[in-house]
Amino acid sequence: MTPLPYLQAYPEATRAQVQALLDQGRVAQWLTDKYPQGHGLRTDRALYDYVQDAKNSFLRGAEPLSKVVFDSKLHVVQNALGTHTTISRVQGSRLKSKHEIRIASLFKDAPPEFLRMIVVHELAHLRERAVSVRPSPS
């Protein structure tokens, strides 16, 4: 696996800084010092409400979300921190879309800023209108 797969888009200097903290085993402490508070959302229901609130604030007109869950396999199996899936099917003469957002469960113990980042990213996919039955890794 590529080192720091989620940070590929960041400048080399930033990645070197993170790598140094990792090598010294200081990442957890550094993050805890910088972001002492967790977001406190523990359940899929709480996550759904949180995402729905964000959607209402920024994307009121977008299609509704069918499902929002923490997923414990995303990070490990799909190498993704979050996914947005649209499943389209014909219902009578209409095309119905179901939108599903999955957030890697490692975000359960993350600071609010981190959860916000991944939720906003996945919500943005509602506007991309990419019709697909496959999740798009983030």
Residue 86: CB atoms within 10 A of its CB come to 21
Q: Which is nearer to Zn ion, 4 or 21 (CB)?
A: 4
131 is written with which tokens? 């019709």
Find, among 68, 66, 75, 67, the residue nearest to 47 by Cα: 68
Residues 6 or more apart whose CB falls under 8 angstroms from that of 1 comprise: 79
# chain residues binding Zn ion, by CB under 5 A: 1
Instruction: Please report whether residue 86 would count as binding Zn ion according to CB under 5 A.
Output: no
Q: How far is the CB of 138 from Zn ion (least distance, A)?
A: 3
The binder of Zn ion chosen from 107, 118, 126, 138 (CB under 5 A): 138
CA dist 52 and 6 (Å) reads 26
Q: Which is nearer to Zn ion, 86 or 138 (CB)?
A: 138
Q: Which is nearer to Zn ion, 6 or 30 (CB)?
A: 6
Contact set with Zn ion (CB under 5 A): 138
